[in-house]
Amino acid sequence: MFAILHHVQQPDVVVKEMLRVAKKAVLISDSNRFGQGGLLARLAKLAMYKTKTWSAFDWLRTKGKGYRITDGDGVSYSYSAYDSFDLLASWVDRLMVLPADGGKVRSWFHPLLNSQGVLACAIKESS
C-alpha cells in the first residue's frame, strides 16, 4: 500500500483486510505526521497522540470535518504509518520501519520524529 491510507477515513479497516489476505508480507508506505513541521510541532503531535488528544485536536483544526482538501492531494485524513504499527506488530514475526525520504537525514532523531514518510515492512516468517 503506497500513499493511499491517508485518503481513507478508517485506515484500520483496510490494514486488517491486508493482514487477512496476505501470506508473507505487508508493506505500507505513507506519510508520517510526527516527522513533519518544526521540532516543537513534531513533539507536540507525538505528545497529543500518546495522550489520546490528537483526534480532538484534529477535529478542531479541520473545523469538525475530520479531513482536509488540498489542490495537490485532494481529500486527506490525518494518518501516519505509525498508526498501523500495533496492528502490524500483532500479525508479524518481523516489523521494520524505515525512513522513506531518500536517505536525507535531517537530524539524529529516530524516523518517528525525523522522516516525513516511512515504509513499514511487516514480514511473517512462520506459516
Is 114 strand, coil or helix? helix
pLDDT at 106 over 80: no
Helix (H) or strand (E) holding 74: strand 74-77
**d(C-alpha 110, C-alpha 52), whole Å:** 21
Helix (H) or strand (E) holding 70: strand 67-70
pLDDT at 127 over 80: no
Q: How confident is the model at residue 21 (pLDDT cuts 50, 70, 90)?
A: very high
- Amino acid letter for position 86: D
Q: What is the pLDDT of residue 109?
A: 62
Query: Who contacts 72 (Cβ-Cβ below 8 Å, separation ≥6)?
Result: none
For residue 36, what is the DSSP state? S
Mean per-residue pLDDT of the chain: 88
Single pTM value for the model? 0.83
| Average pLDDT over every residue of 43-56 | 93
pLDDT at 101 over 90: no
